[in-house]
Amino acid sequence: MADKTLNDLFHETLRDIYYAERKILKALPKMARNAQSEQLKNAFLKHRDETEGQVERLQQVFEIIGKNARGKTCAAIEGIVEEAEEIMDEFKGTPALDAGLLAAAQAVEHYEISRYGTLATWARELGLKNAVTLLEQTLAEESKTDEALTKLAETAVNQAARKKAA
């Protein structure tokens, strides 16, 4: 077996996040439909629109490295999405549903932040300046989304779940 390089690792990780983003793109509308809070519904739909742009940027990174845009199954995102599905089933119609959905969405964001930070660092190391710009743009969006979700959790969603349960 040939020695694997940082280029190989970059490509495999790019395939992983590409799969993840496309999976998330499919999950967000369902999460929005199940959310009870209009603010949370809107946050999910806004992030769906952002995710479309993120997928396009990933396709550009594939072009930069001369590879086809093709994902590979991401077990981490499969598990996070499965957890969101369980929350939607187990907490449907309850005051805690939105808090659970928001937590699942933040798990997705934290995974994405980790991946994009790593990919941007590796792209910089590999001299892929245009890829760095694209990956850092997405990293900034993911961080901003995470901050917005935290604010929504702290100012509305968690309080609503607690008040309704009391």
Residue 1 counted as domain residue? no
Residue 157 counted as domain residue? yes
Structural domain boundaries, residue 93: 6-165
pLDDT of residue 165: 57
The residues near 42 (Cβ < 8 Å, ≥ 6 apart) are none
Query: Each residue's pLDDT tens digit in the chain (166 positions)?
Result: 679 999 999 999 999 999 999 999 999 999 999 999 999 999 999 999 999 999 999 999 999 999 999 999 999 999 999 999 999 999 998 889 999 999 999 999 999 999 999 999 999 999 999 999 999 999 999 999 999 999 999 999 998 888 765 5
Residue 130 counted as domain residue? yes
pLDDT of residue 161: 86
Structure tokens at 44: 């999910």
Chain center to CA of 93: 25
> Number of structural domains, the chain?
1
pLDDT of residue 166: 55
Q: What's the CATH number where 62 sits?
A: 1.20.1260.10
